[in-house]
Amino acid sequence: MNRAAVTSLVVFVLLVALGWYLTELQSTKENPPSAPAPTGSAPAGSKDLGALAIAPEGKMAGYSRDRFPHWASQGNSCDTREIVLQKQGADVKQDKDCKATSGTWNSVYDGVVIKDAGAVDIDHTVPLAEAWRSGADKWTDDERKAFANDLGGIQLIAVTAKSNRSKGDQDPAKWKPPVESYWCTYVQHWISVKITYKLTVDQAEHDALGTMLKAC
């Protein structure tokens, strides 16, 4: 093969290679490679946990449940309690005064099914006294009323009187729902309420929330 033929062949190969390179480059721009899948992921809610301000618990001086007016009227003779019973129960029947006369409620804290409205307690996920110690002592009474009657779906929960009174005003460092399968939901709700209302957590509470998130 003479020199001219060799030169032509080399030029041809280089042009083919250049064409392939430009095609691949354009394809990469249009379809960038996906990021590698993470080998592990953080528990749901862990980023929100990091958003909570950690501070020592405040004092109970000046606290009274009356500082959190509940159950507020919601119109049509209904108050907050009756609305929660209606929303969270099954086959709930009410009288002309909006009082639940029958229905079925599942207490998520302890897995008990309740068939008597009078035996249902409406628990505040973040208790009123806990909120007071976490910053609500500085709120107005109207702000505390809004907190105590929050119908958003996660702050007020229909449960057994036994589980509600066992919990009292304790945070997750001192009390957790007996049903462990509910821990993930409970901790996410607790964190969400505290973030929404700009309430603080103490260190023991923060650590307990982190432990419970491992159930998620």
Residue 82 shares a structural domain with residue 133? yes
Residue 45: predicted pLDDT: 57
Residue 72 shares a structural domain with residue 120? yes
Residue 40: predicted pLDDT: 35
Specify if 79 maps to a domain. Answer: yes
Residue 29: predicted pLDDT: 37
List the domain range (segments joined by +) for residue 103: 46-213
Specify if 132 maps to a domain. Answer: yes
Residue 106 shares a structural domain with residue 199? yes
Residue 59 shares a structural domain with residue 145? yes
Q: Are 120 and 44 within 8 A, CB to CB?
A: no
Strand partners, 23: none
Residue 171 shares a structural domain with residue 84? yes
Sign of the alpha-carbon dihedral angle for 121, 107, 123, 80 = negative
Residue 6 shares a structural domain with residue 52? no
Specify if 39 maps to a domain. Answer: no
Residue 78 shares a structural domain with residue 151? yes
Residue 215: predicted pLDDT: 85
All residue ranges of the chain with pLDDT < 50 are 3-43
By the 10 Å C-beta count (0-12 exposed, 13-18 middle, 19+ buried), 118 is classed as: exposed
Specify if 40 maps to a domain. Answer: no
Going by C-alpha positions, the residue among 193, 187, 183, 192 that lies closest to residue 205 is: 187
Number of domains in the chain: 2
Residue 29 shares a structural domain with residue 55? no
Reported as a single tens digit per residue, the pLDDT across 124-161 is 999 999 999 999 999 999 999 999 999 999 999 999 99
Specify if 22 maps to a domain. Answer: yes
Residue 190 shares a structural domain with residue 158? yes
Residue 98 shares a structural domain with residue 2? no
